[in-house]
Amino acid sequence: MTKKKEPAQAFAKSASYNQWREGVYSTQRERRHSFKSISFRDQPELVTAENGGDFDYQRDLGYPGEYPFTRGVQPTMYRGRLWTMRQFAGFGTPQDTNRRFKYLLEHGQTGLSTAFDMPSLMGYDPDNARSMGEVGREGVSVSTIEDMDTLFGGIALDQVTTSMTINCTATVAFALYFAVAKRRNISFDALGGTIQNDMFKEFIAQKEWISPPAPSVKLVCDVIEFCASSAPKFNPVSISGYHIREAGATAVQELAFTIADGLGYVEHCLGRGMNIDQFAPRLSFFFDVHNDFFEEIAKFRAARRLWARLMRDRYGAKTDAACKLRTHAQTAGVSLTAQQPVNNVARVAMQALAAVLGGVQSLHTNSMDETLSLPTEDAVRVALRTQQIIAEESGVTNVIDPLGGSYYIERLTTEIENEALAYIHQIDALGGMLKAVEIGFPQKEIAEAAYQFQLDIDAREQTIVGVNKYQEGGEQDIPTLKIDHAVECEQIERVKAFKARRDPAKHKQALRDIEAACREDRNVVPILIDAVSDGVTLGEVSDIYRDVFGVYTDPGML
């Protein structure tokens, strides 16, 4: 019996992208009238070699560990070493946070990250009237060398890297940390870690300051100068786009203003006569990881390439180390929702995966309960396990820059780089980042972007699951962390007792030394390390800054 022949099939195949787009594609319906990224970027329906833009493999991509570092700053990336898993932690007393640090280390965290309370961040001791109701609430209360010593009790400072998220009082927190190391006979050149110490972004976004921009930037660069000469493994600044993005910036604005902040610090340090190849290798960065998966990956790749090119071509850096952009990242706190908070686990997982595919060196994953309270132990453990699952189970760490060469990723990387560079040129034309901040340029740009995003949410142009779509009645009740008022009382008594025990003569001389260094425009860091060892507190140093440099008031341009 003969087999019946099937009719011949004609397989249509477009010869070009335009032929495909105008042919078979044009006959189909799409589920939306337009597709935009979370940063209002029009999304192409398809990217091919024909419409991928100007791309040169050697010029724009290259190899991992080699200029311009698009594919990563290390030759082996995660095949050699995983990123540092650094969960942000801090609440209550130093003893409380010390226990949380040890809990996280026991569960596989590989670096420490410290959150300070609002009085510490703003320059007030717990016994100051302005601190009332805030001590230990949003982070750990630290104002004395004894607080810092207790915070890291039983933790070898020369064996773990520590990050400290603190800015206008960063010089004091830095001095306290190094004074504790000195007390423990640990050499400064053995200390590794990062202090955020980024005042530009405070004036742009987070709004925690003491003094005006110019003296604030001077203090930032005091720490950079000290580390370049005395603490070669410690990152003296974490140039932070995170808070800029959380304030409502787009991905391009986050990148542009963060890089411009870095350039501002570079130019100040060069103005001191410092060598860029000596201090630039220890500059570090901190970026947000928001919801738009590919946009975030491309942002990290564009950041490395843009920074490398600016360091070499604008400032004449001669070493690879001075051109490498090394970055910590944190999943987007602003994307977390109080509605259906368990959904935040999925958001954080996708954001963390984007950070890893983007090639970060360090990562914090937010806990699902952080819109409601500081994280509980259970929630922070899930957040840490999210990183560990990506690292150990997903397979994405087995190949370096697995998305490199994707037509879409490479086009998006180039677009983001070029758009960020256009912003940087605008800032240059205004006279640099210090001048741009003083006249409110980045602040205005971010405010407009934040307003547009809210309009898009209200119009349901942007979906937030559980908020403007797929809502559920009632609230999901999950456990939250509550800080007892006794914490504040305990810290007030502790700092009062500390002040009562000080040597009055040494204390007064230390205050005079700090004031003289500030008035004479000298580097304050070495003086501060000695002063906090002699009992000077964080609030007392801040009072000197207020007296010598003045108190900044937001001009309210917006």
Contact 328, 286 (CB under 8 A): yes
Task: Give the amino acid at 321.
Answer: A
**H/E element holding 88?**
strand 88-89
So what's the pLDDT on residue 534?
Answer: 97
> What b/e sequence results for 474-513 when a residue is b if at least 16 CB atoms lie within 10 Å of its CB, and e otherwise?
eeeeeeebebeeebbebbbebbeebbeebeeeebeebbeb
**For the residues of 350-370, what is the DSSP string, one character each?**
HHHHHHHHHT-SEEE---TTT
pLDDT digits (tens, 9 = 90+) for 465-485: 999 999 998 777 888 888 888
Coil, helix or strand at residue 545: helix
What pTM was estimated for this model as a whole?
Answer: 0.94
Three-state SS annotation for 170-214 = HHHHHHHHHHHHHHCCCCHHHCCEEECCCHHHHHHHHCCCCCCHH
3-state helix, strand, coil in the chain (%, to 5): 50, 10, 40
Give all strands of the β-sheet with 234-235 in edge-to-edge order: 88-89, 112-115, 162-165, 193-195, 234-235
DSSP, res 25: G
Give the bridge partners for 234, in sequence order.
193
Q: How far apart are the first and last CA of the chain?
A: 86
Cβ neighbours of residue 303 closer than 8 Å, sequence gap 6 or more? 255, 258, 259, 285, 287, 325, 327
Contact 121, 167 (CB under 8 A): yes
CA dist., res. 239 & res. 197, Å (int): 8
Burial (CB < 10 A; 0-12, 13-18, 19+), residue 285, is buried
Strand, helix or coil for residue 329: strand
Please state whether beta strands 362-364 and 327-331 pair in parallel, antiparallel, or not at all (unpaired): parallel
pLDDT tens digits for 100-152?
A: 999 999 999 999 999 999 999 999 999 999 999 999 999 999 999 999 999 99
Rg (CA), the chain: 25
Report which DSSP code applies to 48: -
With a cut of 50, list the residues of the chain below it in pLDDT.
none
Token pair, residue 460, equals: 């349901």
Produce one character per residue of 153-175: b if its CB has 16 or more CB atoms within 10 Å, e if not. eeeebeebbbbbbbbbbbbbbbb
Buried b vs exposed e over 5-16: b needs ≥16 C-beta within 10 Å? eeeeeeeeeeee
Residue 62's Cβ-count burial label (10 Å; 0-12, 13-18, 19+) is: middle
Spatial distance between the Cα atoms of 322 and 525, rounded to a whole number of angstroms: 23
Domains identified in the chain and CATH numbers: 25-74+196-424 (3.20.20.240)
pLDDT of residue 123: 98
